[in-house]
């Protein structure tokens, strides 16, 4: 069957764009205003209805507004936030359709939707990720994206209530509504797209760390915590050219894997009794010197208390491990901060601008041979979401993902 004129024009645009070094997703059906997708009347949505229990509910797919996008979900990573909600509901969100590390295929767009939040064309068939929902916040514009981080906006997958069905990525369809930020990521593979949101957390943390003026190419850096967040932190640092990275954790398997991400040394705190012995072990990995900079990636108050001991006088610290209230930490302000003149920054999730940097990081990691896809160790069907969350809580593997057909 011969292609129509609009299809040919779309293909020509893609060829010209690739010659200029920029890939553009081509969707003949989207360009001609049609759709090849058979959209059902209802969707399946995983609601956390009580502690440690999701129910898969069948819900109607609503009519699409002029500024909305309907997405067929391909997969969504399980975040520590999801695990905490599943276990203890610290945000009092139940009932809630969770899942915010998701990606999928655009199957229908409102007539006003032409480009994504970076100005890139988007249409039916394109791959998409979401960032934040700003509504009409006057402090946020596309021309000044650094004023506010995600703490001042809504996030898909963290909007409570049964009436918010299809607002989380733990569904087989998700409705992206007016006021949302979203990106066309059709040039990235599925696993990379699932990792975008957690990687943005670390891009933001490293950008915060750079504001201290201490983090440099030749810095000695300690990363405490080798869950997915800590391991991604190592990978981000490595792509920046930092090559002297020591990881600290209590799991030998995760510590060994940190070397595949780019670590050059590691310390298992289980093998050292007391903070003095642990500090000496960290120093030994750095050739007898303390770290110039540290990233604290655990939610452990004891971990926060310990990390200051690993840092030299005049060094820096980025604390990003506490995305919920994990309790109080004990430090000595004189010895840990004042006399050492430690420069400390906190990091909380990300800003919209960090997403663009994240896309480039993931491409750089692939180019540099860092096996980011190995972070996703388990994949579960949506119907098995309770097992997926239990696997996460048991700390089996690293990044757990929920996949849709």
Superfamily of domain 199-346: NAD(P)-binding Rossmann-like Domain (3.40.50.720)
- The predicted-structure confidence for 147-172, as pLDDT tens digits, reads as follows 556 666 789 999 999 999 999 999 99
In the chain, where does the domain assigned CATH 3.40.50.720 lie? 199-346
Spatial separation of the C-alpha atoms in residues 334 and 88, rounded to whole Å: 36
Residue 333 has pLDDT above 80, yes or no: yes
CATH number, domain 23-187+372-403:
3.90.180.10
- The predicted-structure confidence for 111-124, as pLDDT tens digits, reads as follows 999 999 999 999 99
For range 204-218, the mean pLDDT: 96
For range 298-313, the mean pLDDT: 97
- 230-241 in b/e form (b: 16+ CB < 10 A) is bbbbbbbbbbbe
For range 396-405, the mean pLDDT: 94
Spatial separation of the C-alpha atoms in residues 175 and 184, rounded to whole Å: 15
For range 62-89, the mean pLDDT: 96
Residue 4 has pLDDT above 60, yes or no: no
Residue 31 has pLDDT above 90, yes or no: no
Least confident of 103-107, 196-200, 401-405: 401-405
In the chain, where does the domain assigned CATH 3.90.180.10 lie? 23-187+372-403
- Residue 194 burial by CB count (10 A; 0-12/13-18/19+): exposed, middle or buried? buried
**What was the pLDDT predicted at 24?**
34
Residue 263 has pLDDT above 60, yes or no: yes
**What was the pLDDT predicted at 351?**
83
Spatial separation of the C-alpha atoms in residues 56 and 45, rounded to whole Å: 5
**What was the pLDDT predicted at 140?**
54
- Residue 387 burial by CB count (10 A; 0-12/13-18/19+): exposed, middle or buried? middle
Q: What's the chain's average pLDDT?
A: 89
């Amino acid at each position: 069957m011969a292609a129509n004129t609009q299809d040919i024009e779309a293909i020509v645009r893609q060829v010209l764009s690739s010659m200029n070094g920029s890939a553009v997703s081509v969707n003949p059906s989207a360009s001609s205003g049609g759709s090849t997708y058979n959209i059902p009347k209802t969707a399946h949505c995983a609601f956390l209805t009580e502690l440690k229990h999701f129910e898969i509910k069948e819900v109607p797919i609503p009519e699409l507004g002029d500024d909305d996008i309907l997405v067929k979900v391909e997969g969504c990573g399980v975040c520590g936030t999801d695990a905490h909600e599943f276990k203890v509901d610290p945000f009092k969100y139940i009932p809630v359709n969770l899942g915010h590390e998701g990606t999928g295929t655009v199957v229908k767009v409102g007539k006003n939707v032409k480009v994504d939040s970076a100005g890139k064309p988007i249409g039916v068939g394109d791959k998409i990720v979401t960032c934040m929902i700003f509504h009409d916040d006057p402090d946020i514009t596309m021309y000044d994206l650094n004023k506010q981080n995600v703490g001042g906006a809504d996030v898909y997958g963290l909007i409570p209530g049964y009436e918010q069905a299809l607002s989380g990525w733990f569904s087989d369809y998700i409705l992206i509504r007016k006021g949302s930020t979203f990106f066309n990521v059709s040039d990235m593979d599925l696993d990379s797209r699932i990792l975008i949101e957690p990687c943005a957390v670390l891009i933001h943390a490293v950008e915060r760390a750079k504001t201290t003026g201490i983090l440099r190419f030749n810095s000695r850096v300690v990363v405490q915590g080798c869950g997915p967040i800590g391991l991604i932190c190592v990978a981000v640092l490595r792509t920046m050219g930092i090559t002297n990275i020591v990881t600290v954790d209590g799991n030998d398997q995760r510590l060994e894997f940190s070397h595949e991400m780019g670590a050059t040394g590691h310390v298992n705190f289980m093998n050292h009794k007391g903070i003095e012995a642990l500090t000496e072990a960290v120093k030994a990995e750095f050739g007898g010197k303390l770290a110039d900079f540290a990233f604290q990636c655990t939610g452990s108050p004891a971990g926060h208390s310990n990390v200051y001991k690993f840092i030299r006088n005049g060094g820096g610290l980025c604390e990003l491990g506490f995305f919920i209230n994990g309790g109080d930490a004990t430090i000595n302000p004189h010895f840990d901060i004042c006399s050492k003149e430690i420069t400390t920054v906190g990091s909380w999730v990300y800003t919209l601008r960090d997403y663009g940097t994240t896309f480039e990081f993931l491409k750089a990691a692939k180019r540099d041979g860092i096996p980011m896809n190995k972070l996703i160790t388990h994949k579960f069907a949506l119907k098995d979401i309770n097992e997926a969350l239990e696997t996460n809580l048991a700390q089996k593997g690293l990044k757990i993902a929920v996949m849709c057909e």
